[in-house]
Amino acid sequence: MTGDNAAKQKRPWYLRKIWVYVMILLLFPIGAINVLVHRNYWQREERREYIGILVILGYLWILNFLPDRFSWPGISIGLVVLLVIGALQLVRN
């Protein structure tokens, strides 16, 4: 356990967990580029976590640029798609 923690501390600042979250939340395009370029650097669980957050926030970020008349249908369709994908994952497992 100590060796794993030491390896995480040796990472460059832009690959540490807190900074990845800050970049994704505050600077979405830069955070997205950082996650996609360095996706092979992290372990599988970390990679899934970052890409999952990236997809959800990316959807909301793009939804922000749509006109107001498309915002509620877009949110509704997005939630339905997420529920269907979640249900399929539960059934598969």
The span from the CA of 3 to the CA of 44, in Å, is 18
The span from the CA of 34 to the CA of 86, in Å, is 27
- Residue 58's pLDDT is 87
The model's pLDDT over 42-88, given as tens digits with 9 standing for 90+, comes to 898 888 889 888 988 888 888 778 777 777 787 788 888 888 888 88
- Residue 1's pLDDT is 47
* Tokens 């807190």 belong to residue: 18
Q: Select from 60, 38, 57 the least CA-distant residue to 47.
A: 38
12 with 42: CB under 8 angstroms?
no
- Residue 2's pLDDT is 53
pTM of this prediction exceeds 0.95: no
- Residue 8's pLDDT is 62
- Residue 93's pLDDT is 66
The model's pLDDT over 6-35, given as tens digits with 9 standing for 90+, comes to 666 688 888 888 999 999 889 889 999 999
